[in-house]
C-alpha cells in the first residue's frame, strides 16, 4: 500500500487511475496465459458500485465499466441471470429495481458506451414461467438467449459434470473475442457455471481457454479483520458470506490471503473440474483465480477504515429495519449485529444518529438529521405541511447556499396547490409533502426566485452525506433520498399505525 503524499486529498483514499492500470495489466497477463481466450467471471456491480464508493472514498462507482472501455476492442460480454431470481422478483436493494429490469438497464448503459454484449444466459432454468417470459421478451428484441439447466452431477460427480451429460448438455455460446466477461445483476446468478460450461465446450473444440475472477471484495491482501473486509461480510449477510484465510494459498505459498467461505469450500470441486477440462492443474488456490488490485490503490488506510465502519453501521440499521418490515431473516439481523460488535462499533461513528434522536426527544416530533460535507449537521422535523426528510433537505440546501433560516425560497402559493393536488385529486391519505414534492416546488420557484435557484444549484453537494431518521421513511421517499446520493439510516420504528403505505 502506498504511503500518503502531501498532495493527497484528505477526503480521498483511493487512486482510480492507478487501479485501472494495475487491474487492466493483470487481466491482459491472464489473457496471454490462456492463449488469448479468457472467460472472466465479473464479481460485484459493473455499474454503480455504491458499496465500494462508500467504503473507499474516492472510488469511482463506475470504474469497472471504464476499465472495460479501455479493453473494449478485445472484450465481449455475456449476461447471466438466475431463473429463480426472476421468478422471485428479486430486488437490487440499493436501487430498488428487480434483477430482470436491472439487466435491461445495464445492457442499455453498456451498449451506449460502445461495448459489445453477445448473449444472455438464463441459469438454473427448470421452466419457471417468469423466466420463460423474460427470455422471450429478449428474443423478440433480437437478442441471443440461452437457457442453462442445473448441472447434472454437481458438485461431487466430476466425471458426470465434465461430460456431455453435465456441462455438455448446455448449449455452447459462440464467442469471437479474447476476453469474455461473464457478469450478472447480483450474486448467485450462475456466472461460474456459465464460465465452466464454456471452458468444457472450448476445450472439446481444441481451444485452450482459461478462467479467472474479477474480484473487488473481500480484498485478499488486506487483513482478515480489516473493516473494509468486514463491511463486505455485512453487505452479504443475507447470503451468509464469511471471510476466511485461504488455506490452499497458505499451503501452496506460505502466505496469508483472504477469501470467502463459498470460494474456499468449492475450490476442491472447482480444482478437479478445471484439471479435468484442461488436463492439468490450473490454479493452486481460490486466491490464485482472482484478479484484484484494490489494496494497491488505497492511498489512505485510516480513511478507508473509518468509511468502512460507517458502512457497517448503515448495514446494521438496514438489517434492523428490514427485519421489522418482514423483509430480512433474524439470522441476517444477528449476523449484522455480531459484525458490528466484533469491532466494538458505536453509534457515534455516524454523528447524525445522536443529533436526530436528541432533536426528536426535545421537540416531540419525528426528526431527521443530515450531516453536510463540512461536518455541520442540520435537522428537519415532520410538521403539517412537509415531512422530516423534506424539511432536512430544504434546510441543508439553504445552509449550503448561505441563506441560513431564510424561508422565502418556497412560498405557500407554490406549496399549497401541491398539497391540494395530493389530497383532493389523488385522494392521498397524507397531506404531508415529501422530498420529491418539495424539490419539484423548489425547481418551479427557481425560475423566478434567485434564492431557490441557489438552493437547486447545491443539490449535487448532498451526494455522499449521511442522514439518520427517527422512523422508517416510506419506500417512495427513501428512493428519492437514494437518488440524491444521501446515505440514509433509520430507526426500526414505523411512522404510524397504518398497514397500507400510501
Q: Sketch the domain layout of the chain as residue ranges.
A: 16-298, 350-490
Type and span of the H or E element at 280: none
Q: What is the pLDDT of residues 228-283, one digit of tens each?
A: 999 999 999 998 899 999 999 999 999 999 999 999 999 999 999 999 999 999 99
Confidence of residue 7 (pLDDT cuts 50, 70, 90): very low
pLDDT cut 90: percent of the chain above it: 81
Instruction: Report the candidate in 356, 355, 373 with the shortest Cα–Cα distance to residue 458.
Output: 373
Type and span of the H or E element at 360: helix 351-363
Which distant-in-sequence residues (6+ apart) come within 8 Å of 367 by Cβ?
Answer: 356, 359, 360, 379, 380, 381, 382, 388, 469, 470
Res 426: pLDDT: 74
Whether residue 95 has pLDDT greater than 80: no
Which distant-in-sequence residues (6+ apart) come within 8 Å of 227 by Cβ?
Answer: 55, 304, 305, 306, 308, 309, 312, 343
Q: How far apart are CA 23 and CA 293, in angstroms?
A: 6
Q: How far apart are CA 182 and CA 191, in angstroms?
A: 6
Whether residue 409 has pLDDT greater than 90: no
Instruction: Report the candidate in 419, 434, 373, 431 with the shortest Cα–Cα distance to residue 400.
Output: 373
Q: How far apart are CA 83 and CA 65, in angstroms?
A: 25
Average pLDDT, the chain: 92
Res 476: pLDDT: 87
Domain 350-490 belongs in CATH node 3.30.450.70:
no
Task: Could you please state the CATH topology (level 3) that the domain comprising 16-298 is classified under.
Answer: dip2346 fold like (3.10.630)
Type and span of the H or E element at 227: helix 227-235
Average pLDDT over residues 22-47: 94
β-partners of residue 490 are: 469
Type and span of the H or E element at 259: strand 258-260
Q: How far apart are CA 381 and CA 448, in angstroms?
A: 27
Res 2: pLDDT: 45
Whether residue 5 has pLDDT greater than 50: no
Res 11: pLDDT: 87
Whether residue 189 has pLDDT greater than 60: yes
Which distant-in-sequence residues (6+ apart) come within 8 Å of 66 by Cβ?
Answer: 20, 60
Whether residue 4 has pLDDT greater than 60: no
pTM over 0.75: yes
Average pLDDT over residues 29-49: 93
Confidence of residue 499 (pLDDT cuts 50, 70, 90): low
Average pLDDT over residues 65-84: 96
Whether residue 87 has pLDDT greater than 90: yes
In eight-state DSSP terms, residue 220 is T
For the chain, the helix, strand and coil percentages under 3-state DSSP, each to the nearest 5 = 50, 15, 35
Range with lowest mean pLDDT among 49-58, 423-432, 437-446: 423-432
Average pLDDT over residues 145-159: 93
Res 500: pLDDT: 60
Range with lowest mean pLDDT among 25-34, 169-178, 411-420: 411-420
Using alpha carbons, list the distances in angstroms from residue 491 to 114, 313, 357, 474, 488.
43, 12, 9, 13, 10
Whether residue 200 has pLDDT greater than 60: yes
Angle, alpha carbons 204-207-210 (nearest 5°): 105
Amino acid at each position: 500500500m502506498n504511503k500518503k503524499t502531501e498532495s493527497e486529498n484528505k477526503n480521498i483514499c483511493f487512486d482510480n487511475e492507478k487501479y485501472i492500470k494495475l487491474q487492466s495489466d493483470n487481466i491482459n497477463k491472464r489473457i496471454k496465459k490462456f492463449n488469448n481466450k479468457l472467460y472472466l467471471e465479473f464479481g460485484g456491480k459493473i455499474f454503480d458500485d455504491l458499496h465500494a464508493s462508500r467504503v473507499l472514498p474516492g472510488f469511482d462507482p463506475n470504474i469497472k465499466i471504464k476499465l472495460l472501455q479501455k479493453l473494449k476492442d478485445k472484450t465481449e460480454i455475456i449476461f447471466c441471470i438466475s431463473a429463480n431470481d426472476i421468478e422471485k422478483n428479486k430486488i437490487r436493494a440499493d436501487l430498488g429495481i428487480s434483477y430482470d429490469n436491472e439487466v435491461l438497464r445495464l445492457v442499455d448503459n453498456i451498449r451506449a458506451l460502445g461495448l459489445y454484449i453477445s448473449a444472455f444466459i438464463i441459469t438454473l432454468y427448470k421452466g419457471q414461467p417468469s423466466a420463460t417470459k423474460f427470455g422471450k421478451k429478449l428474443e423478440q428484441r433480437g437478442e441471443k438467449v440461452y437457457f442453462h439447466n442445473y448441472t447434472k452431477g454437481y458438485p461431487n460427480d466430476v466425471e458426470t459434470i465434465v461430460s456431455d451429460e453435465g456441462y455438455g448438455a448446455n448449449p455452447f455460446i459462440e464467442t469471437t473475442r479474447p476476453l469474455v466477461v461473464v457478469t450478472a445483476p447480483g450474486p448467485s446468478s450462475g456466472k461460474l457455471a456459465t464460465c465452466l460450461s464454456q471452458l468444457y465446450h472450448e476445450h472439446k473444440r481444441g481451444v485452450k481457454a482459461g478462467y479467472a475472477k474479477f474480484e473487488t471484495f473481500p480484498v485478499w491482501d488486506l487483513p482478515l479483520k480489516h473493516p473494509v473486509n468486514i463491511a463486505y461480510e455485512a453487505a452479504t449477510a443475507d447470503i451468509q458470506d464469511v471471510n476466511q484465510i485461504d488455506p490452499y494459498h497458505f499451503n501452496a505459498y506460505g502466505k496469508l490471503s483472504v477469501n470467502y467461505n463459498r470460494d474456499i469450500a468449492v475450490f476442491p470441486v472447482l480444482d478437479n473440474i478445471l484439471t479435468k477440462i484442461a488436463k492439468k492443474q490450473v490454479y493452486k488456490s481460490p486466491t490464485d483465480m482472482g484478479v484484484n488490485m484494490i489494496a494497491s490503490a488505497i492511498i489512505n488506510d485510516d480513511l478507508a477504515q473509518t468509511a468502512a465502519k460507517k458502512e457497517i453501521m448503515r448495514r446494521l440499521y438496514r438489517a434492523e429495519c428490514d427485519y421489522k418490515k418482514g423483509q430480512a431473516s433474524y439470522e441476517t439481523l444477528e449476523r449484522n449485529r455480531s459484525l458490528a460488535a466484533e469491532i466494538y462499533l458505536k453509534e457515534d461513528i455516524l454523528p447524525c444518529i445522536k443529533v436526530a434522536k436528541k432533536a426528536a426527544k426535545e421537540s416531540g416530533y419525528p426528526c431527521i438529521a443530515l450531516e453536510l460535507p463540512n461536518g455541520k449537521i442540520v435537522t428537519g422535523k415532520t410538521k403539517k405541511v412537509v415531512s422530516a426528510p423534506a424539511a432536512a433537505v430544504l434546510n441543508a440546501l439553504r445552509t449550503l447556499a448561505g441563506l441560513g433560516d431564510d424561508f422565502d425560497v418556497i412560498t405557500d402559493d407554490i406549496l399549497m396547490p401541491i398539497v391540494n393536488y395530493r389530497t383532493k385529486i389523488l385522494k392521498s391519505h397524507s397531506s404531508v409533502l415529501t422530498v420529491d414534492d418539495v424539490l419539484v416546488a423548489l425547481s418551479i420557484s427557481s425560475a423566478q426566485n434567485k434564492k431557490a435557484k441557489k438552493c437547486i444549484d447545491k443539490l449535487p453537494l448532498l451526494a455522499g452525506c449521511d442522514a439518520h431518521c427517527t422512523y422508517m421513511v416510506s419506500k417512495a421517499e427513501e428512493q428519492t433520498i437514494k437518488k440524491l446520493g444521501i446515505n440514509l439510516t433509520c430507526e426500526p420504528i414505523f411512522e404510524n399505525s397504518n398497514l397500507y403505505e400510501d
